[in-house]
Amino acid sequence: MEPNSLKEAWSIPEQAIVEYLQTDIEKGLAATSVELRQQQYGLNKIESKKKTSLFAILLSQFVSPFVLLLAIAAGMSFFFDEWLDGIAIIAVIVINAIIGFIMEFQAERSMEALKKLTSVPAKVIRDGVMVEIPSEDLVPGDIMFVEGGDMVTADARIIQASQLQTDESALTGESLPVEKSPTTIANNTLLAERHNMVFKGTFVAKGNCRSIVVHTGMNTELGSVARLVQGANQAATPLEKKIEVFSKKLIWITVALIILIFVAGLLNGQKFVAMLETSIALAVAAIPEGLPIVSTLALAFGMLRMAKYNVIVKKLSSVETLGGTNVICTDKTGTLTVNKIEASYIQLSDKASRIAIDVLSGTTKWIDDEQVPMDAAYDHLYRISALCNTASYQNENGLEKETGDPLEIGLLKMVYASAKRRENYAQQYLKIDEMPFSSETKLMATFHTQVNGSYYIAAKGAAEELFAHCTGVLENGQETPLTEDKKQHWVNLAEIQAQSGLRMLAFAYRNTSVKEKDFLNDLVLAGLIGFIDPPRQEVPAAISECKSAGIKVVMITGDHPATAQNIALQLGLAELGDKVIHGKDMKPYKELSENDKEQWLQAAVFARVSPEQKLDLVTLYQEKKMVVGMTGDGVNDAPALKKADIGIAMGQRGTQVAQEVADMVLKDDAFSSIVLAVKQGRVIFDNIRKFVIFLLSCNLSELLIIATASILNLHFQLLPLQILFINLVTDVLPALALGVTEPAPHIMQRQPYASDTPVIDKKRWYAIFTYSAIIAITTIGAVFASHELLHKEEKWNAELCNNILFYSLIFSQIFHVFNMSFEKGIRFHKTEVFRNKYVWYAVISCIVITLLSYWILPLRKVLEVSIYGWRDWSIVLISSLCSLLLIQWSKKLKLTI
């Protein structure tokens, strides 16, 4: 365990830490003490969950109520020596498992391709010598050295720093690089504001530092997040919950009918064994054997369709879950924004303008000006931005190459988009001296010689600090004195924009004829530039579509509240006056009052939020019966990604931790892909409802026929193998075709279904019973019609009656697929089902397979079927069409949906 006294290392003087860890700032640890510390603290690595084995993926395909029902039916078939029945049912189970296994295995392979397999080294001082070691070997007390471009591999307290800035966006959500310094700070300082610490998993954007390693492995901030991930329970998807409820209802209905018919048969004098065999037939009839296969393939189809839009779905049932999502909690940095700093605002003495940089086309859009402004101050701003800059930026045919401080890269992009080139400035103004930026001065200045022999000074920095070195200001192209009143006016302008979420820098210059050593004085203020991590271009439209679909989008970020609010306003997530909830004002979940919960539910923006608070937010939404989607790319998003109903990680910027716990990964990091996924999820839920209604009404019609024949002691009955054949023919192909039906035009304009909306509600159960009753009546009616119209002079022929019953039922169920359109006010031939070419393929295929059962002699013998003339076939066809017409008539009269 890590010593408790170092839990708040940022608030402890560095000398006290050195003494506690028994280390030396100059010489580091002795090699002899390292092994003992490794035994005490363990290796410096994050424990990750075990990879899902192939056997576990395969086994999960059999964990389903429907599979259990099918297995029971197969067992009963084998018990009564009905081997063909049993084998056929087992075949259904195996086919379903193979399809599900293949799809989820492919998703696992896609995820493996995203993982980074490189080992990260660390530089430490041991026995007075700097050495490079595997990061896993770091121990508390090591003196670690990091510089620009390095990944920080342990939590460490800074003891020496030179112009140090770190990128902590993956851990805290802070989009801008964070300036670091060794000074001690208060013990209640938030994670994002601990400027004297560097954290495992973050990157050094600029500068270098020496630091004392204080926490390693699972005791780091990254380890704390990993522990939250391991402790967060993965919620069952809404589809899994709905299928479970639906399955239980189906089981009870089946059991009740079997008992009723079994008892009725015994009371009618039927033999016990005969009634047991009838019960098997009932069980086979009641279970929609095709439902597992059709459900799996429908979800797999959606999974493959999403793959075309660069969305990797790791679990089949997650596809449908998105369709029911009514809250999307999204990180800001890298998800809603591009995670790159750009200039977005220019302030001169007499005017200001928002700007939009387009480096691809090399243009700048002046949002508040009708034309490109021509002003000497603009020329100086571009010149200073190019000259007073140590970063590098190149754009060759749209291929960007950039190194250095993100903010300085943003300045170079601004210059590039103005059609000016840094190389031209560098040729005209040769740099001969530089005053580098430091966290103490918060300024940078460069000294240049011009071709005419004079000199030019370029300076930039924090507004108030640079103003202190200015004596003039550029107004309307003229240099005028910078009075105290004017200086305060500029300070106010900078503060106003900073409060809106912009990071403001001031720019100044001076021309001189003398070469100077101390040149940071008597500068002329040219203006201010504001920077922001801009929103992704496609996000506002995606959020607008989410709103029209009844989906609430909530921004949850570790960034500054003003920055979060500014981005939210630009994206249309929030309106002026909406409250931004700060992490420091958020109580632990168990301490929340009802008023606190209501404020959280109403808010659209949360800032400076910790991983624990993100987890609490997801928990609250789920408590309110909301289906929660969580998007993110950082380590700080991982616990909430796992807890959410559907976790969506970014594939390009996303950390490995986030990708591992998410249910799906966006390979292109495009937030707009989520909208496509939501639409696909809704389509799948609608189609699942279609084919479940189809399958249940078909199977219930079989139940009603068997029950009627048994209770009324009729001389004809369906055989178990015939029932299984009917189910395999009519359940799979038509239902599969329904599973790929195109969406209704208004599918993204309706409110999402509530999370507790069942697959089959009362209205749809009523429709199922109505449909099945009509099919059963017309089918049994076909038997009596055949006898009365064609064979009245003959004795009842049990085999012929069985065959009429068998084929009438098959064709009635095949034609029944055209009843599965529930759009109101649309003519029969214009419904989405009638226009679905796959439905027609399925209908034709089913008819051919049915006729083959008659034409192929071995199959005819197994099914015990034969019809003696075309007139009996006419009765079969007419009765089948009658069931279709009667159901359509009931829908037109609004007796059913």
Please state the separation of Cα 563 from the chain's center in Å.
23
In the chain, what is the straight-line distance between the N-terminal and C-terminal CA atoms, in Å?
64
Measured CA distances, 494 to 349, 355, 504, 630 (Å): 12, 17, 6, 35
Angle at 336 between CA 545 and CA 756, to 5 degrees: 50
The sign one gets for the Cα dihedral 644, 563, 608, 637 is positive
Residue pair 67/96 in contact (Cβ under 8 Å)? The answer is yes
Token representation of residue 399: 């291929």
Question: Alpha helices, DSSP H only, in 560-655?
Answer: 561-571, 594-602, 611-623, 638-643
What 3-state DSSP class applies to 389? coil
Single out the residue of 410, 423, 408, 416 nearest to residue 364, CA to CA. 416
How many Cβ atoms are within 10 Å of 452's Cβ, its own excluded?
Answer: 8
Asked if 645 contacts 621 with a C-beta cutoff of 8 angstroms, the reply is no
**What whole-number distance in Å separates Cα of residue 121 and Cα of residue 133?**
6
Q: Which amino acid is at 8?
A: E
Q: Identify the helix (H) or strand (E) that includes residue 430.
A: strand 429-435
Rounded to whole angstroms, the Cα distance separating 181 from 197 reads: 8
Name every residue whose Cβ is closer than 8 Å to that of residue 245 and which is 6 or more positions away in sequence. 758
Phi and psi at 276, nearest 5°, equal -65, -40
The residues assigned a catalytic role are 331
Three-state SS annotation for 864-888: CCCCCCHHHHHHHHHHHHHHHHHHH
- State the DSSP string of 16-74: HHHHHHT--TTT-B-HHHHHHHHHHH--S----PPPPPHHHHHHHTT-SHHHHHHHHHH
SS3 label, residue 720: helix
Which among 202, 194, 38 is positioned nearest to 120, based on CA atoms?
202
Helices (H) and strands (E) in the chain, counts: 29, 27
Contact 83/94 with Cβ under 8 angstroms?
Answer: no
